[in-house]
Amino acid sequence: MSEAGATPTSFTPRVFSGIQPSGGLTLGNYLGAIKRFVDMQGPEFETIYCMVDLHAITVWQDPEALTRNTRELCAGFIAAGIDPTQSILFNQSQVPEHAQLGWLFSCVARMGWMGRMTQWKDKTAGKNAEAASLGLFAYPALMAADILVYHATHVPVGEDQKQHLELTRDIAAKFNHDYGVDFFPLTEPVIEGAATRVMSLRDGSKKMSKSDPSDMSRINMTDDADAIAKKIRKAKTDPEPLPETLDGLKERPEARNLVNIYAALADQSAEQVISDHAGQQFGQFKPALVDLAVDRLAPISTEMARLMNDPAEIDRILGAGAARAREITAPILRKTYDIVGMVPPPA
Ligand code: AMP
Ligand code: TRP
């Protein structure tokens, strides 16, 4: 083991997560990610949240839209309750160590690992994979760098990111093994709560997504009270009443989805929601869900709109967050280069 590798085996409890500024925020992003980011702020962890603009451009982004979406995402984080003086909030491209470590990890990760990623397979399915960007293929190596350039120990995400986090552990383990060090932590995914996979309001077998062509399939964080109410009222359901137990929802994905959304918004378990609403028809349950959703979401969209009126203030927050982030990333990258054997600049 080299001298450079004589590093501590215990790591500061540190949370990192990221969201792509590739379109508007959905209720899936809010319940599966941002709301949980807010819940993890506190004395237990250092919390670091990133707008991953470098990931967004693995597929084409109109430059003006990318700028607007990055600011809007930042406004969404803050409106939902992320405190930028407590958490570190910034956009990825302002912290160059992400891309730098990403390159090293592109040399650690194997082609075969990348080719097995379901997100890569889904995004290229039925299309010409030869025409996909190289960045889209390498995406998970940059994601591993996002996390490990902080030595982050915990990563809250939705269910769809599970495989990428397993790959992050594989990259950390291979780096540690190849260089004979104990330098990168094996990060814990945090995939918890009632809504780690929010489904489309039109089709219970599809994930709610900002890229779905139908706007009725999702609730956007910028939707006003009327839009939220209309989308929930029109959400696909079935003619049966709500059952007595969760087991009764097994073959009813649309019903299950609305129960999960209710539970996550109300900070309750899905079991609790079922026992409180057992026997109700959707004609009764949907209005209760509309009231709850409007109560929780409308103040966030109002606050987002207010913050978006002052883009200079958002840019200031992102810049200040990036400066704080670099205090952590610069020494970790320097140490990584040292382990790899890169000659440093003279002191
Ligand atoms: P993305 O918008 O793809 O960058 O996703 C950002 C975060 O939101 C990730 O943690 C995702 O797992 C989470 N997420 C996105 N869509 C959903 C969904 N429909 N249900 C739950 N979590 C989601
Ligand atoms: N791949 C994630 C998504 O699409 C976004 C992401 C990039 C991320 N880097 C990350 C999430 C690091 C968690 C940690 O949702």
- 161 alpha carbon – ligand 2 mean position (Å): 7
- pLDDT one-digit tens code per residue, 293-324: 999 999 999 999 999 999 999 999 999 999 99
Give yes or no for residue 18 CB within 6 A of ligand 2: yes
- 17 alpha carbon – ligand 2 mean position (Å): 6
Atom of ligand 1 minimally distant from the CA of 55: 4
Average pLDDT for 83-103: 98
Of all protein residues, whose CA lies closest to atom 11 belonging to ligand 2? 18
Sequence spans of domains, the chain: 14-196+310-340, 215-306
Mean pLDDT of the chain: 95
- pLDDT one-digit tens code per residue, 196-212: 999 999 999 999 999 89
Of all protein residues, whose CA lies closest to atom 6 belonging to ligand 1? 19
Angle between helices 162-179 and 97-108 (to 10 degrees): 80
SS3 271: helix
- Is the pLDDT assigned to residue 8 strictly greater than 80? no
User: pTM of the entire structure?
Assistant: 0.94
Average pLDDT for 14-33: 96
> Whose atoms come closest to the Cα of 37: which ligand?
1
Question: Would you say how long the chain is, in residues?
Answer: 347
Average pLDDT for 12-36: 96
Task: Name the CATH superfamily, with its identifier, for domain 215-306.
Answer: Tyrosyl-Transfer RNA Synthetase (1.10.240.10)
Atom of ligand 2 minimally distant from the CA of 164: 1
H or E segment to which residue 89 belongs: strand 88-91
Strand partners, 322: none
- Is the pLDDT assigned to residue 5 strictly greater than 60? no
DSSP 242-261: P-SSGGGGTT-HHHHHHHHH
Structure tokens at 69: 């979406």
Q: How far is CA 328 from CA 12, 24, 48, 55, 119, in A?
A: 12, 29, 11, 21, 29
Task: Name the CATH superfamily, with its identifier, for domain 14-196+310-340.
Answer: HUPs (3.40.50.620)
- 19 alpha carbon – ligand 2 mean position (Å): 6
- Is the pLDDT assigned to residue 3 strictly greater than 80? no
- Is the pLDDT assigned to residue 6 strictly greater than 60? no
Confirm whether 14-196+310-340 and 215-306 share one CATH topology: no
Of all protein residues, whose CA lies closest to atom 13 belonging to ligand 2? 17
Atom of ligand 1 minimally distant from the CA of 160: 12
By most ligand atoms within 8 Å of CB, the mutation choice from 16, 19, 261 for ligand 1 is: 19
Position 37 scores a pLDDT of 97
Average pLDDT for 217-224: 96
- pLDDT one-digit tens code per residue, 98-146: 999 999 999 999 999 999 999 999 989 888 888 999 999 999 999 999 9
By most ligand atoms within 8 Å of CB, the mutation choice from 17, 92, 168 for ligand 2 is: 17
- 146 alpha carbon – ligand 2 mean position (Å): 8
Of all protein residues, whose CA lies closest to atom 3 belonging to ligand 2? 19
Which of these, 102, 184, 107, 179, lies nearest to 141 by C-alpha position?
A: 102
Structure tokens at 313: 């203030």
Position 125 scores a pLDDT of 86
Which of these, 230, 223, 299, 292, lies nearest to 263 by C-alpha position?
A: 292
- pLDDT one-digit tens code per residue, 36-76: 999 999 999 999 999 999 999 999 999 999 999 999 999 99
**Maximum alpha-carbon separation in the chain:** 73
Strand partners, 156: 190
Residues taking part in catalysis: 123, 207, 210
